[in-house]
Amino acid sequence: MRQAHGRVHLHRSGRIVAGGTALDQRKRDALAFLLPRCGAMGPDVTVVIPVHDGARFLAEALESVARQCLDLEVVVVDDGSTDRSGEIARDLGATVLRQEQRGHGPARNAGIAASRAPLIVFLDADDLIPPYGLAVQVEHLATHRETVGVIGMQEYVVLDGAPLPGWALVDGIGGVDAIRRPYATGVLARRLAFDLIGGFDPRFRHAADVDWLFRARDLGHRIDVIDDVVRVRRIHGANMSYDDKGMRLERFELLAARARRKRELR
């Protein structure tokens, strides 16, 4: 792989071909074990990025993807944006799918359907992947063959003095005793997992990722949690997670759906 410095470097096909610094030999061996097709045969990982009016953040999100030390395909699903989100993604070389606004779950499903890699990962347009963040997830799947997916931890950046949403206040974000939690949205999964578990339930605006993880677990599939930081979550005043009421209502619906599913699986 060639190295890229500065801005994102993509093939016109939406495939990232370089980025960051070289992996150490241990990580290279792990990735080779998992991805014998690495290189000319196809991308290692498809990164699916749903976006609705995310022009303010999208270029930086794509640049964070370009710094990962893997051969990546990038699929940006423009979910009915009225700003330049789709144009920005195309200008930076990503594959762009355009659809009427339907929400993050259906957008992720569209990205899955268009993906070509054996592994699929999701990135919100206002988040970032730290250097090596994706590599450690790939390495974990390489060395845990019985696992169909892996999530990691998140760190937080508060932009421009934005007020904290309710969940961030509860977790003490910005303080020395902030609670550190796994980030379900950042799951890296084998393609096979979506055949076994299905895609994201369009009923859920906020909790489609947690619902998917619950369904995986209820069906007996293993999703691991690692202690590495794999996402930088930017709090900027317009995040969907400011909708405390909506999140609360979906939490009840999520638990009710899981209870029904468990009864059906008995």
Q: What confidence category does residue 266 fall into, taking pLDDT thresholds of 50, 70 and 90? A: confident
- Residue 21, pLDDT > 70, answer no
Global pTM value: 0.81
- Residue 39, pLDDT > 70, answer no
Q: Is 213 a domain residue? A: yes
Q: What confidence category does residue 263 fall into, taking pLDDT thresholds of 50, 70 and 90? A: confident
Q: Which whole number is the average pLDDT over 47-70?
A: 95
150-154, 202-206, 247-251: range with highest mean pLDDT: 150-154
Q: Is 55 a domain residue? A: yes
What's the start-to-end Cα distance of the chain, in Å? 49
Q: Which whole number is the average pLDDT over 196-215?
A: 93
CB 258 within 8 A of CB 251: no
Domain that holds residue 241: 15-265
3-state secondary structure 125-163: CCEECCCCHHHHHHHHHHHCCCCCEEEEEEEEEECCCCC
Q: What confidence category does residue 37 fall into, taking pLDDT thresholds of 50, 70 and 90? A: very low
**pLDDT number for residue 2:** 28
Q: Is 7 a domain residue? A: no
The count of structural domains within the chain is: 1
- The torsion angles phi and psi of 116, rounded to 5 degrees, stand at -125, -10
- Residue 43, pLDDT > 60, answer yes
**pLDDT number for residue 239:** 65
Q: Is 9 a domain residue? A: no
Q: Is 8 a domain residue? A: no
Q: Which whole number is the average pLDDT over 206-234?
A: 94
For 185-205, what is each residue's pLDDT tens digit?
999 999 999 999 999 999 998
Q: What confidence category does residue 242 fall into, taking pLDDT thresholds of 50, 70 and 90? A: low
Q: Is 6 a domain residue? A: no
Q: Which of 25-39, 42-56, 240-254 has the lowest mean pLDDT?
A: 25-39
The length of the chain is: 266
Q: Chain-centre distance of CA 97, in angstroms?
A: 17
CATH of the domain at 177: 3.90.550.10
Question: Rg for the chain (alpha carbons), in Å?
Answer: 18
**pLDDT number for residue 254:** 78
